[in-house]
């Protein structure tokens, strides 16, 4: 990404143990190239980069982006 804007990041806070943050590759094939496990209370600040065009959150977490705040839910 050439014009790296300062708001191109996402803040994720785990509400429960074992939240997974998964990065998807940029390009024609969208593979999972990186994962990260967050335990309750842990925070991750993720940036969209030349390698990562999408971020997937599994588990209950609070997510903040430039577009607002939302909550992901645990699978029932």
Partner 1 sequence: MVITTDDLETTCPNCKGSGKEDRLPCPKCSGKGVILTGQGNTLLHFIKKHLHE
Q: Is 69 in the site for partner 1 (CB under 8 A)?
A: no
State the nearest-atom distance from the C-beta of 3 to partner 1, in Å. Answer: 26
Structure tokens at 24: 């998807």
- In this complex, which beta carbon is closest to partner 1, that of residue 2 or of residue 31? 31
Give the Cα separation of 53 and 43 in Å (integer): 20
From 8-16, 33-41, 45-53, 60-68, span contacting partner 1 (CB under 8 A): 33-41
The single residue among 2, 3, 29, 67 that binds partner 1, judged by CB under 8 A, is 29
Residue from 14, 32, 30 nearest 71 by CA: 14
Reported as half-sphere exposure (CB side, CA atoms, 13 A), residue 58 has a value of 9
């Amino acid at each position: 990404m050439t014009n790296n804007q300062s708001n191109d990041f996402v803040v994720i806070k785990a509400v429960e143990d074992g939240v997974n943050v998964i990065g998807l590759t940029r390009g024609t094939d969208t593979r999972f190239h990186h994962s990260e496990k967050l335990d309750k209370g842990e925070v991750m600040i993720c940036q969209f980069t030349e390698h990562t065009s999408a971020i997937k959150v599994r588990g209950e977490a609070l997510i903040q982006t430039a577009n607002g705040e939302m909550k992901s839910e645990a699978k029932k």
